[in-house]
Amino acid sequence: MNHDARSVVVEELVKRFGDFTAVDHINLETRKGEIFGFLGPNGAGKSTTIRMLCGLLTPTSGRAIVAGYDVAHDPESVRQNIGYMSQRFSLYNDLRVIENLRLFAGLYDVPRSLVEERIAWALEMANLRGQEKLITGTLPGGWKQRLALGCALLHRPTIIFLDEPTSGVDPISRRQFWDLIHRMSGEGVTVFVTTHYMEEAEYCNRLAMIYRGSMVALGTPTELKHKYMKGELLLVECEPLGPAVEALGSAPDVVDAAVFGNALHLVVGNAETAIPAITEFLRKREINVTDVEKIQPSLEDVFVSLTSEHDPSRNLAVQA
Amino acid sequence: MTAAVQPALTIRGLTKSFPGIRAVDGVSCDVYPGEIFGLVGPDGAGKTTTLRMLAGVMPPDQGSATVAGSDVVHDPEAAKHDLSYMPQRFGLYEDLTVDENIRFYGDLFGVRANERRARSAQLLEAAGMSEFRKRLAGKLSGGMKQKLGLVCALIHHPKVILLDEPTTGVDPVSRRDFWRILYNLIAEGVAILTSTAYLDEAERCHRVALMHEGKLLFLDTPAKLKSGFAKGVLAILSSDARRMKEELKRVEGISSLVLTGDGVHVVIEDPVRRIPQIKAQLVSAQVPFSEMRQVVPTIEDLFVDAVTSGRSGGQG
Amino acid sequence: MNPNRLAAIATKEIIHIRRDVRSLIIVVLMPAILVLLFGYGVSLDLKHLPVYVFDRNGTQASQDLLKRFQSSNYFRIAKVANSYPELAQAIDSGKATLAIIIPHDFSERLHDGGPVEIQAIVDASDDNTANLAVGYAQGVLQGYSSDLQVEWRERRGLPRQFVPLSTEVRTWFNEDLESSAFIVPGVLALVMTVIGAFLTSLTVAREWERGTMEQLISTPVTALEIMLGKLLPYFVIGMVDVGLSTALAVYWFRIPFRGTIATLFLSSALFLIVMLLLGFFISVIAKTQLAASQIALIVTFLPAFLLSGFLFAIEQMPVFIQYVTRVLPARYYVSALKNIFLKGTPVEMLYADLLPLAVFALVLVLLATRAFKKKLA
């Protein structure tokens, strides 16, 4: 991987719609061949950012360079050098596999002499050889996704944008798909993934968490879990749960308490001192504690921790 | 759940076919009062069809189902007073305000006005939506829409709640509010059957059933499912995960390798005993790695292992 | 049937109408717009056509003739011109539809017992108006000439004799007058069709399309409650619109209304129920708003417009089409309206119109309740 080659450079990018700031001074860089995740809930500003990076929307201010071209000044060149795939809309369900590929080859203006070779390559990559004649609509979800990826890569872009590429797909197809993505990235293609889906985020090399237009965290999934989580996460198994969660709301050192299946998740400042303190606290209230242990926070835990800090109007304390 | 308690929801051999596909294939399970039961599986596994049949809006081909003591197959209307169903698509009227939607559903279920006002105030408070009562439902964020859907679904104190992928597309913070409301309902003795495509969300349920191609693969508590998983999962961090994955393919006994953003998950039997051997392999191949430890398998690990090894446990 | 659930559905439906600008416009403004459009569209052509006259004779006799033009409702003497070019220019520029030239020897020749030629120039760019203008002008001239003849014969002690041609022309006028009088009430049929069938055809389809129906049918609400709750607000709106349109026709356009209000509302209610049920039935079978509105347009609106006898007389249609009109509810309603407005036919004499409507309503109730199932496909 060439760490000097920057494929996407975003500096102080802003997009306003009237009074509403959809994207608020975002800065980021992706390296060539990197799988970069853009993680946030629906409405956080992900699509607006992507549209600016694809040259479909003009930024209000700031700068974005994609594949070496400025999106504000040369959106056409940007579009010729990127691929875009969203799960839902890119394929025509009533066309055959091969017809979809030919259509996209035409749309991306793949030189005539290269079309057959590229389609063969895409079929091979997507593991769809021999299925050319099938009607796209009848394909299983995982196949469709691979076909959509093949279509988006026909013009051999150096950057590909994926919009929630595997949400709702069965885990096996998802793993196959991500293997494919990792292979593409090995060949030097930068993969820019937007998702609200924490499970998808785990597959990315680096992640930016975005919330209400601003970037709240940036790092590898492991870094995010270690660096950005305010406090540490405890799993508490006890009985009964209802009174326990109610009592813990007023316990010292507990930042957040939530029921999680048959157990509680507690966010505390320091796990080592909290474990005996919590155990004692609950025993005094005649709650039977069977287990208290420190667990690794998930990306979702990190996200909730970051956004509640970011948004003081939200009260995340326990509501009885 | 003790056996003495009558199940709120009994499903026996429920089957539904559409042209060319058996969407639900002999599904049987019980859901008890005070329980959150998760129906977990990818799109197309048959979750929505199952819930629709239980909600009495789609007749099954075969099998029986009892919801709150009423037979939904023979008398689908009888159960509807005690039941609440939240379809996957936002089922509320976008041109009605939050309050108007709640009122509409309250009236349909014959909830008295003062009772409705008290209940909706309490539910909206728990949903963090008290200040949005006059807002049109169409102008709410995705997370708020889902929470409003839940408030409407709960306005008549149902005994059984059926939720079809309620948290899809919902931001994590709203998702927590959502689950908090569900947990509060447990105390009222409500039985909740929820479907989800997020395998990580399954961990929040008391019991889960993994659904695949219309059949239930497993049915147990998440903890028992995981402890019953004979294999273990090793997480190895590496700056060159792709090369590491290639290298690990040479190690015997690995049932699956999953690339993550900054490493590889290895599913293998007796993982701790195999650590030295794997370390040696990576060192000799000069693959950089920074951390290697056993992690708790996820529901997804279980799912993939079950489907790929063709094993079908539990009730099928 | 639970009255609270019925009220809940109806209330919700009213909120939908109130919040949707498009349906609000259709409900409030469309009846007025249609009445005005057809009221003026038809009567404007018939009245006060601008006429330029060039009186080269300038005698008492020629003035008498011109007065006849002026006093007829059909013409308005816009200007007395002084030259041919002025007339030609007025016709060219559209200032005049008709120009009348009275020859210089008009009174002399009349005195000698004729014949006198009156020259008329007509703007034929609008074929229909030109024909009417020529017809009216001939009528005025015939009337004048037959009066002269009567006078001439009387002066000579001869028996009265009428020119058959003039009688024929008058009949033609009357018929046109009559048609304009029932075109406006005929608009009622259009209004009811749009409110009844067109708007309601969208309501159920919209709920399928937006996914709200799935949740709705999982509640205890019954199919009948959904149907009645959805139709009730439109029924009220439709009846209000009947009142508005009738008031506009009677007080603004001075259309004669010889029947009773009760008969009008009873017949309108019956037709509206048929249309509402038809709209609901279309909505249930179509499942998407686009399909529903297309079906509603083809099945209800176009036939009501073309085949109901409202614009074109059914008796003049090809025999096959005449049979087709028998299955159109609008045809019976238009016929009832003609009877109520123009003849004042009492309700017990309207069975030929109202009975078929009742049969349609009965059949559609059965169809609609059977087609609407609280089930997904």
- What is the per-residue DSSP string for B270-295? SHHHHHHHHHHHHHHTT----EEEEE
Give me the sign of the Cα torsion angle A107, A108, A112, A113. negative
Touching subunits of C (3+ CB pairs, under 8 Å) are B
Which of C263, C250, C256, C242 has the alpha carbon at shortest distance from C346? Answer: C263
A21 touches A45 (CB < 8 A): no
At least 3 CB pairs under 8 A between chains C and A: no
Q: What is the mean pLDDT of residues B128-146?
A: 90
Query: CATH number for the B230-296 domain, one of 1.20.120.80, 3.30.360.10, 3.30.70.920, 3.40.50.720?
Result: 3.30.70.920
Cα–Cα distance between C235 and A255 in angstroms, integer?
58
C-alpha span between A99 and A217 (Å, rounded): 42
Concatenating the DSSP letter of every residue in C27-84 gives HHHHHHHHHHHHHHHHHHHHS-EEEEEEESS-SHHHHHHHHHHHHSTTEEEEEE-SSH
Decide if C217 touches B, using CB distance below 8 A.
yes
Give the angle C167-C173-C174 at the CA atoms, nearest 5°: 90
Domain locations along chain A: 6-226, 229-310
Q: Is residue B45 scored above 60 in pLDDT?
A: yes
Interacting residues of B289 by C-beta distance below 8 A, sequence separation 6+:
B236, B237, B238, B244, B263, B282
Q: Which residue of C has its CA nearest to B78?
A: C220
pLDDT value of residue B130: 92
User: Which pLDDT score is estimated for C116?
Assistant: 78
Q: Which whole-number Å values give the CA distances from C232 to A261, B96, B137, C138, C268, in the listed order?
A: 47, 19, 25, 54, 15
Q: Chain A partners of B241 at a C-beta cutoff of 8 Å?
A: 182
Q: In angstroms, what separates the C-alpha of A263 from chain B's closest C-alpha?
A: 9
8 A C-beta contact, residue A239 and residue A287? yes
3-state helix, strand, coil in chain A (%, to 5): 35, 30, 35
Single-letter amino acid, residue B274: R
Tell the residue number behind the tokens 């807002």, with chain if given: B135
By the CB < 8 Å criterion, does B93 face chain C?
yes
Query: Is the predicted pLDDT of residue B273 greater than 70, yes or no?
Result: yes
Q: Is residue C143's pLDDT more than 60?
A: yes
Q: Say if CB C189 and CB C198 are below 8 A apart.
A: no
Among chain C residues, the shortest Cα distance to B75 is held by: C220
Domain at C47-162: CATH architecture: 3-Layer(aba) Sandwich (3.40)
Cis? peptide before A157, omega within 30° of 0: no
A vs B contact (3+ beta-carbon pairs below 8 A): yes
Structure confidence by residue, pLDDT tens digits, C297-316: 898 888 888 888 877 778 77
**How would DSSP label each residue in chain B?**
--TTSPPSEEEEEEEEEETTEEEEEEEEEEE-TT-EEEEE--TTSSHHHHHHHHTTSS--SEEEEEETTEETTT-TTGGGGSEEEE-SS--S-TTSBHHHHHHHHHHHTT--HHHHHHHHHHHHHHTT-GGGTTSBGGGS-HHHHHHHHHHHHHTT--SEEEEESTTTT--HHHHHHHHHHHHHHHTTT-EEEEEES-TTGGGGSSEEEEEETTEEEEEE-HHHHHHT-SEEEEEEE-S-HHHHHHHHTTSTTEEEEEEETTEEEEEEESHHHHHHHHHHHHHHTT----EEEEEPPPHHHHHHHHHHTT---S--
In this prediction, residues C2-14 reach a mean pLDDT of 92
| B213 in C contact zone (CB under 8 Å) | no
Partner residue facing C218 (CB), from B55, B90, B92: B55
pLDDT at C377: 63
Q: Which site among B108, B152, B168 would you substitute to test the C interface, given the most C Cβ atoms closer than 10 Å to its Cβ? A: B108
Mean pLDDT, rounded, for C345-366: 92
> On the CB side of C57, how many CA atoms lie within 13 Å of its CA?
23
The structure tokens listed for A171 are 């885990």
Note whether B86 contacts C: Cβ–Cβ < 8 A: yes
Res B228: pLDDT: 78
- Nearest-Cα distance to chain A for B172, in Å, is 6
Cα separation, C120 vs C53, in Å, equals 9
Residue C262: in which H helix or E strand, if any?
helix C261-286
User: Does residue A209 contact residue A217 with C-beta atoms inside 8 Å?
Assistant: yes
C-beta separation of B88 from B50 below 8 A = no
Could you tell me if C133 and C127 are in contact, meaning their C-beta atoms sit under 8 angstroms apart? no
- Residue span(s) of chain B under CATH 3.30.70.920 come to 230-296
SS3 A47: helix
B100 min Cα distance to partner chain A (Å): 25
Does the pLDDT at position B140 exceed 50?
yes
Token look-up 């404007």 returns C44
Chain A environment of B211 (Cβ under 8 Å): none
* Measured CA distances, A42 to A47, A199, B142, B174, C208 (Å): 9, 15, 7, 11, 25
Alpha-carbon distance B85 to C217, whole Å? 10
Cα torsion through A97, A98, A104, A106, rounded to 10: -160
Return the residue in C219, C226, C372, C373 with the most chain B beta carbons within 10 A, the one to mutate for interface testing. Answer: C219
Pick the CATH number of A6-226 from 3.40.50.300, 1.10.3980.10, 1.10.8.60, 1.10.760.10: 3.40.50.300
Contacts of B52 in chain C (CB under 8 A): 214, 376
Tens of pLDDT, residue by residue over C117-132, are 888 888 877 666 777 7
Q: Is the pLDDT of residue B134 over 80?
A: yes
Closest CA of chain B from A248, distance in Å: 15
For residues C262-279, average pLDDT: 94
What pLDDT score does A310 carry?
59
- Asked if residue B311 has pLDDT above 70, the reply is no
Burial class of A217 by CB neighbour count within 10 A (0 to 12, 13 to 18, 19+):
buried
Q: What band does B312 get if pLDDT is binned at 50, 70 and 90?
A: very low
The closest alpha carbon to B258, from B235, B226, B276, B229, belongs to: B235
Rounded to 5 degrees, φ, ψ at A244 are: -65, -50
pLDDT for the residue numbered C45: 53
Locus of tokens 């993550």: B260
pLDDT per residue over B96-127, tens digit each? 999 999 999 999 999 999 999 999 999 999 88
Write the DSSP string, A247-274. Answer: HHTTSTTEEEEEEETTEEEEEES-HHHH
- CA–CA min distance A111, chain B (Å): 32
| CA B295 – CA A296 distance, rounded (Å) | 9
**Residues of chain A under the 50 pLDDT cut:** 1-4, 312-320
Q: Containing H/E element for C121? A: strand C119-122
Instruction: Please tell me the predicted confidence (pLDDT) of residue C182.
Output: 65
**Cβ of A116: how many Cβ atoms within 10 Å?**
12
Q: Kindly report, residue by residue over B202-251, the tens digit of the pLDDT.
A: 888 999 998 988 999 888 888 888 887 778 888 898 888 888 888 888 88
In this prediction, residue B142 carries a pLDDT of 80
Q: Domain spanning A229-310: which CATH class is it, in words?
A: alpha beta
Sign of CA dihedral B64, B69, B74, B79: negative
Identify which of A56, A51, A81 has the alpha carbon closest to the alpha carbon of residue A66.
Answer: A81
* Predicted confidence (pLDDT) per residue in C25-48, tens digit: 888 888 888 888 887 766 545 567
- Phi, psi of A168, deg, nearest 5: 80, 0
* Nearest chain B residue (CA) to C375: B57
Q: How far apart are CA C107 and CA C115, in angstroms?
A: 11
Q: How wide is the angle at C-alpha B190 spanned by C-alphas A316 and B154, nearest 5°?
A: 65
Burial track B23-49 (b if 16+ CB lie within 10 A, e otherwise): bbbbbbbbbbbbbbbbbbbbebbbbbb
Helical axes B113-126 vs B172-186, angle rounded to 10°: 130
CB contact under 8 A, B110 and C5: yes
Examine the pLDDT at C170 and tell me if it is beyond 80.
no
Neighboring chain C residues of B109 at a CB cutoff of 8 Å: 219-220
Across the interface, do C220 and B77 touch by the CB < 8 Å criterion? yes
Which one-letter amino acid corresponds to residue A30? Answer: T
Whether B239 contacts chain A with CB within 8 A? no
Residue C236 has which token pair?
């009220």
- Residue C44's pLDDT is what? 47
Paired residues of B269 in beta bridges: B231
Show the tokens assigned to A206: 């680096």
CB nearest to A171's CB, from B36, B44, B304: B304
C216 part of contact set with chain B, CB < 8 Å: yes
- Looking at chain C, which residues constitute the CATH 3.40.1710.10 domain(s)? 47-162
| Separation in Å, CA of C274 to nearest CA in chain B | 27
Query: What fold is seen in the domain B9-226?
Result: Rossmann fold (3.40.50)
